[in-house]
Chains A and B, each alone.
Chain A
Amino acid sequence: MPLRLLKFALSKGHPAPRFFRALETPKKSYDVVIIGGGGHGLAAAYYLAKDHGITNVAVLEKGYIGGGNTGRNTTIVRSNYLTPEGVNFYDASVKIYEGLSEELDLNLFYSTRGHYTLAHTESAMRTMRWRAEVNKHVGVESRVVGPDEIAKACPQLDLSCSGQAPILGALFHAPGSVARHDGVAWGYARGADRLGAEIYQNTEVLGIDVKNGKVCGVKTNKGYIETKQVLCAVAGFTPRITEMVDLETPIVIHPLQACVTEPMKPWLNSIFVSGSLHVYLSQSSRGELVMGSSLDPYEVHSTRSTLDFVEGLTSHMLDMFPFLSNVKVVRQWAGMADMTPDFAPIMGKTPIEGFYIDAGWGTWGFKATPISGKTMAQTIANDSAPDLIHSFRLSRFEDYELTGEKGAASVGH
Chain B
Amino acid sequence: MKLLTCPMNGTRPLSEFIFGGEYREAPNQDTCTDVEWAAYVHNRSGAPGDKKEWWYHSPSGTWFIAERNTLTDKVSRTYLLGANSDNSDTAQEISK
A binds B: yes
Counting chain A CB atoms within 10 Å of each CB, which of B18, B35, B46, B73 scores highest?
B46
Does the CB pair A302–B73 fall under 8 Å? yes
Choose from B18, B41, B47 the contact partner of A239 (Cβ within 8 Å): B47
In whole angstroms, how far apart are the Cα atoms of A302 and B2 in the complex?
A: 16
* Contact B47 A250, beta carbon cutoff 8 Å: no
Given A297-B18, A297-B19, A398 contacting B35 (CB threshold 8 A) = yes
Return the chain A residue nearest B55 by Cβ.
A298
Q: For residue B15, which residue of chain A has the nearest CB? A: A308
Please, which residues of chain B bring their CB within 8 A of the CB of A338?
46
Question: Using an 8 Å CB-CB cutoff, how does the interface string of A294-309 with B read, 1 for contact, 0 for none?
Answer: 0001111110101010
Looking across the interface, which residue of chain B has its beta carbon closest to that of A296?
B19
Determine if B38 is an interface residue (Cβ-Cβ < 8 Å). Answer: yes
**Known A239-B46, A253-B46; contact A301-B38, beta-carbon cutoff 8 A:** no
Known: A238-B46, A239-B46. A248 touches B73 (CB 8 A): no
Bound CA–CA A304/B41 (angstroms) = 30
Q: Within 8 Å of chain A (Cβ to Cβ): is B48?
A: yes
Q: Write out the residue numbers on chain A whose beta carbons fall within 8 Å of the beta carbon of B2.
A: 306, 308
A24 to chain B minimum Cβ distance, whole angstroms, is: 30
Verify if A219 is at the interface (C-beta below 8 Å from B). Answer: no
| Contact present for A250 and B44 (CB under 8 Å) | yes
> In the bound complex, what is the Cα–Cα distance between A253 and B41 (angstroms)?
17
Q: Does A240 contact B (CB under 8 A)?
A: yes
A250 interface neighbour in B15, B35, B43, B70, Cβ under 8 Å: B43
0/1 interface trace, chain B 66-87, chain A, CB 8 Å (1 if under): 0000111100000000000000
**Could you tell me which residues of chain A, from 375 to 398, have a CB within 8 Å of some CB in chain B?**
397-398
CB <8 Å contact, B38 and A397:
yes
CA separation between A298 and B17, bound complex, in Å? 10
Please give, as numbers and ranges, the residues of chain A lying within 8 Å of B73 by CB-CB distance.
300, 302, 304
Q: Is the CB of A251 within 8 A of B38?
A: no
Q: Write the B59-71 contact mask toward A (1 if CB under 8 angstroms, else 0).
A: 0000000000011
Q: Which residues of B have CB within 8 Å of A299?
A: 19, 51, 70
CA distance A300 to B39 in the complex (A): 22
Q: Is the CB of B43 within 8 A of A252?
A: no
Q: Complex Cα distance A253/B47, Å?
A: 8
Cβ of B42 within 8 Å of any chain A Cβ, yes or no, is: yes
What does the 1/0 interface line of A213-257 toward B look like (CB < 8 Å)? 000000000000000000000000011101100001111110000
Interface residues on B, range: 20 to 34
Q: Determine if B39 and A398 form an interchain contact, defined as CB atoms under 8 angstroms apart.
A: yes
Cβ contact of B70, chosen from A243, A251, A300, cutoff 8 A: A300
Q: A300-B70, A301-B70, A302-B71 are in contact. Are A252 and B46 (CB under 8 A)?
A: yes
Contact assessment for B47 and A243 in the assembled complex, using a CB-CB cutoff below 8 Å: yes
Query: Are B19 and A240 in contact, with the CB atoms below 8 A?
Result: no
A196 within 8 A of B: no
B18, B35, B42, B48: the one within 8 Å of A301 (CB): B48
What's the nearest-Cβ distance from chain A to residue B37, in Å?
Answer: 10
User: Which B residues between 1 and 21 are near A, CB-CB below 8 angstroms?
Assistant: 1-2, 15, 18-19
Residue among A240, A306, A308, A400 making CB contact with B47, cutoff 8 Å: A240
User: Smallest distance from the beta carbon of B65 to chain A beta carbons, Å?
Assistant: 14
Nearest A residue to B43 via CB reads A248
B42 touches A341 (CB 8 A): yes
Q: Does the CB pair A400–B38 fall under 8 Å? A: yes
Q: Shortest Cβ distance from B56 into chain A, in angstroms? A: 11
Taking A239-B45, A298-B19 as given, write out 11 further A-B residue pairs in contact, using a Cβ cutoff of 8 Å, ordered by the A residue number.
Answer: A240-B47, A253-B46, A300-B71, A300-B73, A301-B70, A308-B15, A341-B42, A397-B41, A398-B35, A398-B39, A398-B42
5 smallest A-B Cβ distances: which pairs? Answer: A239-B46, A298-B19, A301-B48, A397-B42, A248-B43
Instruction: Supply 12 A–B pairs (Cβ within 8 Å), ascending by A.
Output: A238-B46, A239-B45, A242-B47, A249-B43, A250-B42, A252-B46, A302-B72, A306-B2, A308-B1, A397-B38, A398-B35, A400-B38
